[in-house]
Amino acid sequence: MARIALVTGGTRGIGAAISVGLKNAGRHVIATYAGNEAAAASFSKETGIETVRFDAGDYDQCATAVAAVAANHGPVEILVNNAGITRDTTIAKMSRDMWDAVIDTNLGSCFNLSKSCFDGMRAGKFGRIVNIGSINGQAGQYGQVNYAAAKSGIHGFTKALAQEGARFGITVNAIAPGYVDTEMVRAVPADVLEKIIARIPRGRLGTAEDIARGVVFLTSDNADFITGSTLSINGGQHMY
Ligand code: CAA
């Protein structure tokens, strides 16, 4: 039986490439999305991947959605906490809402989904959790105190949960993408982005597939001895 994989924010950007990569690796993938119906519908039509709508930052919605997946398909065995948003600005201009939205969606979602899936993984003595962090959680980034804090939190969350999951066959790892050619990065002002690209030793933005290949590897049965690690995929921009 194909293992059940849940990818949050799995219909667009890096998440869409992860969903497709896992499907191509033989997983039964369910991709979640928060609100962009049109994108989810065209993703599903193109890939044949089932999509489910809920807010990953909302604990009750996560618990309900994971229970529904378990009832329909079986327990989630592979969880990719990918959902993420930006609300970039300097702290002087950042509102409390901009802080909360990013912390809830990017970091709170890791708790919500991991907790909702953990018992099922433990019962099956197998689990793969991959949390998508960021180079900006490792190095910080001007204009991103909210995002850097959330992503940095993901790296701590990963190492703590890895210790709890190990004896149940549950591995927990993070991937720290650098600047990847997605809508999120294209929202960075062009002059700022140009300077960022100039600092990437590989001389280009990443592709969503560059990140997806890492997720496919870390969620494979063969990656059983890798847990609590962070895989940086950033073209050499930050060596951590
Ligand atoms: N270092 C030092 N100073 C900087 C700076 C930097 N990196 N960036 C901007 N400044 C300075 C500006 O020069 C300006 O100075 P002056 O007032 O003296 O001219 C001052 O900061 C304020 O700049 P702005 O008026 O432009 O402020 P703003 O609020 O309109 O915009 C910003 C600031 C939001 C940070 C904007 O520069 C920006 O979007 N930067 C890019 C942020 C970024 O990299 N986001 C990543 C998004 S992608 C992602 O997050 C995915 C991932 O995981 C990698």
pLDDT digits (tens, 9 = 90+) for 168-209: 999 999 999 999 999 899 999 999 999 999 999 999 999 999
Q: 99 alpha carbon to ligand 1 midpoint, in Å?
A: 16
DSSP 4: E
Residue 38 falls within a domain, yes or no?
Answer: yes
Which atom of ligand 1 lies closest to the CA of 143? 35
**What percent of the chain is predicted at pLDDT more than 70?**
100
State how many domains the chain has. Answer: 1
- Residue 89 CA to ligand 1 centre (angstroms): 7
Q: Is 147 a catalytic residue?
A: yes
The DSSP result for 32-55, as a single string, is EESS-HHHHHHHHHHH--EEEE--
Q: What is the pTM of this model?
A: 0.96
Strands (E), the chain: 4-7, 28-33, 50-53, 78-81, 127-132, 170-177, 230-233
> Rounded mean pLDDT of 221-233?
97
Percent of the chain with pLDDT over 90: 98
Domain membership flag for residue 238 = no
Q: Is residue 161 part of a domain?
A: yes
- Report the distance separating Cα 209 and Cα 64, nearest Å: 30
For residue 240, being part of any structural domain is answered with: no
pLDDT for position 240: 73
Whole-number average pLDDT of the chain: 97
Tell me which of 33, 59, 142, 147 is the catalytic residue. 147
Each residue's pLDDT tens digit, 34-70: 999 999 999 999 999 999 999 999 999 999 999 999 9
Query: Which amino acid, residue 194?
Result: E
- Supply the residue whose CA is at minimum distance from atom 35 of ligand 1: 143
Q: Establish if 195 belongs to a structural domain.
A: yes
218 has a pLDDT exceeding 80: yes
In the block, tokens 């919500």 appear at: 112
Q: How many A from CA of 154 to the centre of ligand 1?
A: 23
Here the CATH number for the domain that contains residue 158 is 3.40.50.720
Q: Is the pLDDT of residue 111 over 90?
A: yes
Domain region containing 29:
4-233
Q: Within a domain: residue 27?
A: yes
Mutation test residue for ligand 1: of 90, 105, 211, the one with most atoms within 8 Å of CB? 90
Per-residue confidence band for 142, with pLDDT thresholds at 50, 70 and 90: very high
Residue 209 in domain: yes
